Structure 1
Amino acid sequence: MSGVLHLAASGLLAIGLLAASSAVGAGAADGGDARGGAGDGGRHWVHTWTAMPQLTEPANMPPEPFTGEDVVLADATLRQTVRATIGGDDLRLRFSNAFGGAPLPLTEVSVALPRDGRAGAAAIEPGSARPVTFHERSATTVPPGAHVVSDPLPFRVLPGTDLTVTVYLAEGQASLDITSHPGSRTTSHLLAGNHVDAAELPGATPTDHWYFLSGLEVRAPGGTGAAVVVGDSLTDGRGSTTNMNDRWPDQLFDRLDSRPATAGTAVLNQAAGGNRVLNDGLGPNLLARLDRDVLAASGAEWLVVFHGVNDIGTAAATPAAQADVTAQLLAAYDQIVTRAHAQGIRVYGATLPPFGGNEMYDDAAGLRAETRQAVNTWIREAGRFDAVIDFDAAVRDPADPGRLLPAADVGDHLHLNPHGYGLLADAVPARLFR
């Protein structure tokens, strides 16, 4: 998916609305070690936001002049906004160089509050910027294939609010292979020179991608946990509104946070447009990335698997190919449940919505539609998942069940609009996360 998978031109199938003074002056609430541990009153590190790392495609590289012949973002400031789900009194950042072709030198990093609490804003609240350190130093270098976790920073984060992360790279990354999450649906900003603490970025170049930043953790009270969602562009949010945080995981978080019984549940979006369960597409296949993106997520207690449309849609429309992808998908779901259960994570399976009328996936013989139905029947009836979330029932057209509900369809008969994503969010039983 672009996801649902972009190959060539045809395409195969986002924190701190707190007063600046509290953000700048906050310390560990219990006066203990900001790194957590005994004497913390049960507080522990939980991811509150994630973005699945990917190898950046040429079309999604930083725009000129920030991409050179052999170096990216040299002497450049990168300002990005992310939305926290759960809150905490301390935070730490994760930066990924999973797909970098060279070491990633981070010269200086800060965290601040966006101006007026607005997602995608280039401006930050004056005086709210705080320096981020790595082993008590302002700079760090991330080796190729690795990621880095910052030192804990006393900075109070409230649930459902936005945070601005600004990075300065003096030397840049000496490779055109870099790590990003192209489907940010949130505007980032680039400006030459070091402007890490600047309240304004006049003349900055906007780009709707995230680079390098892959996670935000908070030290949260006991009893909080994270629900990790894996999927493709239907979860990454194609058809949602840039800077409005109206993908279905965003809307699910809003609902959970509004209820006392489920407040304190982080919702982590580990999806990517074009991703597949079985084979690499845009990003590694789910079986390959499960350990990194789910099992290693801090505080993960639940996993929602809403994945498989791209596998069906990119397999040949022949009986043999569709029978094979059906068997492989069911075996993959079984493996995912087994591996997650071994880590004490409950796994919920979501049925796949229809794609009738989609130019790429709806074959004339209806073979892919039959595969989707067979996969959905297994999800509903096999009893392998700890619970089933029926997304198919939530957004199919009652008058034509092989197609999306017209009011939910973004127009390509595959992806959803914000209303459609709201229907998915509403179809998730809140009781699953108590």
Structure 2
Amino acid sequence: MGRWVHTWASAPQLTEPENLPPHARDGLVLAGSTLRQTVRVSAGGERLRLRFSNAFGTAPLRLAAVTVALPVDGRAGGSAVVPKTLRAVTFHGRPTASVPAGAQVVSDPLEFSLADGAVLAVTLRLAEGLDPAGVTSHPGSRTTSHLAVGDQTGRAELTGATPVEHWYLLSGVEVEASVPVLALIGDSLTDGRGSTTNHNDRWPDQLFDRLGGFAVANQAAGGNRVLNDGLGQNALARLDRDILALSGVRWLVVFEGVNDLGTAPAEDQEDVAADLIAAYEQIAVRAHAHDILVYGATLTPFGGHDYDDPAGHRESARQKINTWIRTSGTFDAVLDFDQAVRDPSNPRRLLPSYDVGDHLHLSPTGYHALANAFPAHLLKA
């Protein structure tokens, strides 16, 4: 018998208007609709629990029905599930739940066998409308979800479904297992921009495929910053909710800061670098208080991207930060992601074969390089 650990997670964000489901954009909100989402877990188990977040809701989130199942062919992003695997999820023994604004809800434990790396389909129906300005979601799902009218939570195949490239409301899957959790806080480079939709080839996914024996809670958010809000709350503000409150966390990877550099004026880079270093220390102190080992990752190159100012102020700040990460001793270990993906002949830039094309984000091959650069001994329980 193990303990409850997060085997999948997504950082809650306030949904921007352009990322709302089509029904919400048409003024129908999500009332009475069925939403089927697929997620790829890391560590498996024989019992699971789900977490739904209303962190940014302005009204109660009312779940009318929730089911889980295994998708057809075990693939992510599909709308069809294997009928014999369909199971109803309950909350305090009831099929419904009301989640107050700003809160989350954890489902009852459910006997449901999940293999390591399996894909799980979670289908929910909302009983009442949500305020379109307060829908909690994770836009950077890199996974196709499906929205259909009416109650189709018990159907193997949705009828008249509309695909949407986001996750909504679902913020965690837990399993009962005897494994430690690797949690990650970061931006789009960990959220997986440049990875393949429905293929789960972000670098944390590829790291799990390479090593296994642990669970992964990826709490990265595209466009996120450490110091200031942007796309999602800043990392310092969300650390308690997204990392320290998770169950079973043994290690934390901090791989974030490039958006702080890129969005600050070039002439302010010296101050931004100093503030980032102070913030990294704060993250380490707060995580260490929970007996979590903290691994710091160096910032990867962005030469040729819009962040790369002609005078090189941001590059200078990146180098200053990376030197500090490597030498300060603040972190329990260093992940030298900069070294893993930079072009040896032009270290300000990504190796061309790793560059997805914008000179900032990585291709699946580049994310494979990050996964391979993670020393295996750092994930020994």
**Match for residue 330 of structure 1 among 258, 271, 277:** 277
**Match for residue 140 of structure 1 among 79, 89, 97:** 97
1:120-131 equivalent positions in 2, closer than 5 A: 120-131=77-88
CA distance in 2, matches of 1:203, 1:137: 28
**Match for residue 109 of structure 1 among 50, 54, 66:** 66
1:183-262 equivalent positions in 2, closer than 5 A: 183-221=140-178, 224-257=179-212
Which residue pairs with 1:49 in the alignment?
A: 8
Report % sequence identity.
Answer: 65
Q: Check whether the contact 2:185–2:256 (CA below 8 A) recurs between aligned residues.
A: yes
Amino acid at match of 1:427: A
Cα distance, 1:156 vs. partner?
1.1
Amino acid at match of 2:183: V
SS in 1 for 2:254: strand
SS in 2 for 1:228: strand
Cα distance, 1:292 vs. partner?
0.5
CA distance in 1, matches of 2:225, 2:76: 29
Which residue pairs with 1:363 in the alignment?
A: 309
Amino acid at match of 2:319: Q
Q: Check whether the contact 2:57–2:131 (CA below 8 A) recurs between aligned residues.
A: no
Matched, 1:388 2:343: no
Which residue pairs with 1:156 in the alignment?
A: 113
Q: Check whether the contact 2:39–2:120 (CA below 8 A) recurs between aligned residues.
A: yes
CA distance in 1, matches of 2:363, 2:219: 20
Matched, 1:93 2:44: no
Q: Check whether the contact 1:66–1:76 (CA below 8 A) recurs between aligned residues.
A: no
CA distance in 2, matches of 1:89, 1:102: 34
Which residue pairs with 1:417 in the alignment?
A: 363
CA distance in 1, matches of 2:129, 2:180: 36
Amino acid at match of 2:124: V
- Structure 1: runs of 5 or more not aligned: 1-40, 258-262
1:67-82 equivalent positions in 2, closer than 5 A: 67-69=25-27, 72-82=29-39
Matched, 1:344 2:291: yes
CA distance in 2, matches of 1:67, 1:102: 18
SS in 2 for 1:45: strand
CA distance in 2, matches of 1:423, 1:49: 22
Cα distance, 1:66 vs. partner?
4.2
Amino acid at match of 1:369: E
Per the normalisation by structure 1, the TM-score is 0.86
Which residue pairs with 1:260 in the alignment?
A: none
1:18-55 deviation digits (Å, cap 9, x = unpaired): xxxxxxxxxxxxxxxxxxxxxxx4x1000000000000
Which residue pairs with 2:261 in the alignment?
A: 312
Cα distance, 1:174 vs. partner?
3.8
CA distance in 2, matches of 1:171, 1:54: 21
CA distance in 2, matches of 1:175, 1:60: 10
CA distance in 1, matches of 2:164, 2:365: 25
Cα distance, 1:203 vs. partner?
2.1
Q: Which has the higher helix share?
A: 2
Matched, 1:432 2:378: yes
Cα distance, 1:317 vs. partner?
0.5
CA distance in 1, matches of 2:29, 2:326: 47
1:175-210 deviation digits (Å, cap 9, x = unpaired): 431100000000000000100010111321001100
SS in 2 for 1:305: strand
CA distance in 1, matches of 2:32, 2:286: 43
CA distance in 1, matches of 2:198, 2:186: 20
Cα distance, 1:256 vs. partner?
1.3
1:174 and 1:315, CA in 2 relative to 1: closer, same or farther beyond 3 A?
Answer: closer
Cα distance, 1:245 vs. partner?
0.2
CA distance in 2, matches of 1:125, 1:235: 31
Cα distance, 1:68 vs. partner?
4.6
1:289-344 deviation digits (Å, cap 9, x = unpaired): 000111111100000000100001111011xx111111110100101110000000
CA distance in 1, matches of 2:203, 2:144: 19
SS in 1 for 2:73: helix
- Structure 2: runs of 5 or more not aligned: none
Which residue pairs with 1:354 in the alignment?
A: 301
Q: Report the aligned-residue RMSD.
A: 0.9
Q: Check whether the contact 1:67–1:73 (CA below 8 A) recurs between aligned residues.
A: no
Q: Check whether the contact 2:149–2:160 (CA below 8 A) recurs between aligned residues.
A: no
Cα distance, 1:405 vs. partner?
0.1
1:76-112 deviation digits (Å, cap 9, x = unpaired): 0000000110011110000000001211110000010
SS in 1 for 2:84: coil
Which residue pairs with 1:36 in the alignment?
A: none
SS in 1 for 2:243: helix
